[in-house]
Structure 1
Amino acid sequence: MAQTQDTVEFPPVPSALPPTMRAAVLFGPGNLRVVDRDVPRPGPDEVLVRVATCGACGTDLKILDGHFPQIPPYGQFTPGHEWTGTVVDVGATVDEFAVGDHVCIEAHRGCGRCDNCVVGRYTACLNYNNRAKGHRATGMTADGGFAEYAVHHVSALYRMPEGLTPEDAVLITTAGTSLYGLDHLGGYIAGDSVVIYGPGAVGIMAAQVCRALGAGTVILVGTRQSRLDRARELGIEHVINSRETDPIEAIKAILGPEGADLTIDASGAQPVPQLCVEGTKRGGSILFLAFYHDKVEFDLSAAIRKDITLHTSRGEGGNNVRRAVSLAAQGALHCKELVTHRFSLEEIGEAFHVIRDRIGDPMKVVITP
Structure 2
Amino acid sequence: MKSRAIVVDAPGSHRLVTGERPEPGPGEVVVRVAAAGICMSDREVYDGHRDPGHVRYPLTPGHEWSGTVEAVGPDVDRALVGRGTVAEGFRSCGTCERCRCGETSLCAGPYAETGFTHPGGFADHVVVPARLLHPLPDGADLRAAALLEPAAVTAAAVRAGAPEPGERIAVVGAGTLGLLAVQFLSGYSPRELTVIDPRLRRAELAGPMGATGARTPERSPTLRGRFDLVVETAGAPTTAADATLLARRGGRVVLTGMFAPGATGIDPVHLSLSQLTVRSVFGAPPAAWSFAVRAYIARRIDPAALITHEYPLERYADALALVGGGDPGTGKVLLRP
TM > 0.5: yes
Instruction: Measure the CA separation in 1 of the matches of 2:327 and 2:250.
Output: 41
After TM superposition, the structure 1 = structure 2 runs for residues 103-252 of structure 1, keeping only pairs within 5 Å, are: 103-129=85-111, 136-185=112-161, 187-243=162-218, 245=219, 247-249=220-222, 251=223
TM-score, L = length of structure 2: 0.93
Give the partner amino acid of 1:225. Answer: L
Q: What is the CA distance between 1:36 and its match in structure 2?
A: 1.4
Q: What is the CA distance between 1:119 and its match in structure 2?
A: 1.1
Deviations 1:109-139 (CA, angstroms, capped at 9, x unpaired): 211011111112111211133xxxxxx3100
Q: What is the CA distance between 1:231 and its match in structure 2?
A: 1.3
Deviations 1:39-94 (CA, angstroms, capped at 9, x unpaired): 2111221111000010000000111122322466534x211100110110112212
* 2:84 corresponds to: 102
Q: 3-state SS of the aligned residue for 1:84?
A: strand
- Distance 1:23-1:298 versus aligned 2 partners, 3 A rule: same
* 1:74 corresponds to: 57
Q: Does 1:332 align with 2:300?
A: yes
Instruction: Measure the CA separation in 1 of the matches of 2:292 and 2:211.
Output: 18
Instruction: Measure the CA separation in 2 of the matches of 1:280 and 1:357.
Output: 30
Contact 1:189/1:210 (CA < 8 Å) preserved in 2? no
Give the partner amino acid of 1:237. Answer: T
Contact 1:204/1:231 (CA < 8 Å) preserved in 2? yes
Q: 3-state SS of the aligned residue for 1:109?
A: coil
- Distance 1:163-1:224 versus aligned 2 partners, 3 A rule: farther
Instruction: Measure the CA separation in 1 of the matches of 2:78 and 2:296.
Output: 21
Q: 3-state SS of the aligned residue for 1:139?
A: coil
Instruction: Measure the CA separation in 2 of the matches of 1:96 and 1:220.
Output: 45
Instruction: Measure the CA separation in 1 of the matches of 2:286 and 2:62.
Output: 21
Contact 2:31/2:127 (CA < 8 Å) preserved in 1? yes
Q: What is the CA distance between 1:360 and its match in structure 2?
A: 6.7
Give the partner amino acid of 1:48. Answer: V
* 1:269 corresponds to: 236
Give the partner amino acid of 1:281. Answer: R
- Distance 1:318-1:49 versus aligned 2 partners, 3 A rule: closer
Instruction: Measure the CA separation in 1 of the matches of 2:185 and 2:173.
Output: 14
- Distance 1:120-1:215 versus aligned 2 partners, 3 A rule: farther
Q: Does 1:85 align with 2:60?
A: no
Instruction: Measure the CA separation in 2 of the matches of 1:120 and 1:357.
Output: 37
Q: 2:250 aligns with which of 279, 283, 302?
A: 283
Give the partner amino acid of 2:94. Answer: G
Give the partner amino acid of 1:284. Answer: G
Q: What is the CA distance between 1:188 and its match in structure 2?
A: 4.9
- Distance 1:345-1:101 versus aligned 2 partners, 3 A rule: same
Deviations 1:187-230 (CA, angstroms, capped at 9, x unpaired): 35333221110000001101111122444422111111221222
Instruction: Measure the CA separation in 1 of the matches of 2:169 and 2:138.
Output: 32
- Distance 1:73-1:140 versus aligned 2 partners, 3 A rule: closer
Q: What is the CA distance between 1:292 and its match in structure 2?
A: 1.6
Could you list the runs of 5+ residues in structure 2 that have no partner in the other structure? none
Q: 3-state SS of the aligned residue for 1:361?
A: coil
- The count of residues paired between Structure 1 and Structure 2 equals 335
Give the partner amino acid of 2:314. Answer: E
* 2:312 corresponds to: 344
Instruction: Measure the CA separation in 2 of the matches of 1:96 and 1:215.
Output: 44
* 2:19 corresponds to: 37
Q: What is the CA distance between 1:170 and its match in structure 2?
A: 1.8
Instruction: Measure the CA separation in 2 of the matches of 1:356 and 1:293.
Output: 16
Deviations 1:286-334 (CA, angstroms, capped at 9, x unpaired): 1100002342212121111000011111112142121111112222111
Could you list the runs of 5+ residues in structure 1 that have no partner in the other structure? 1-17, 130-135, 253-257
Q: 3-state SS of the aligned residue for 2:260?
A: coil
Contact 2:56/2:116 (CA < 8 Å) preserved in 1? no
Q: What is the CA distance between 1:241 and its match in structure 2?
A: 2.5
Q: What is the CA distance between 1:338 and its match in structure 2?
A: 0.3
Q: 3-state SS of the aligned residue for 1:233?
A: helix
Give the partner amino acid of 2:299. Answer: G
Contact 1:71/1:142 (CA < 8 Å) preserved in 2? no
Contact 2:8/2:14 (CA < 8 Å) preserved in 1? yes
Contact 1:167/1:339 (CA < 8 Å) preserved in 2? no
* 1:363 corresponds to: 331
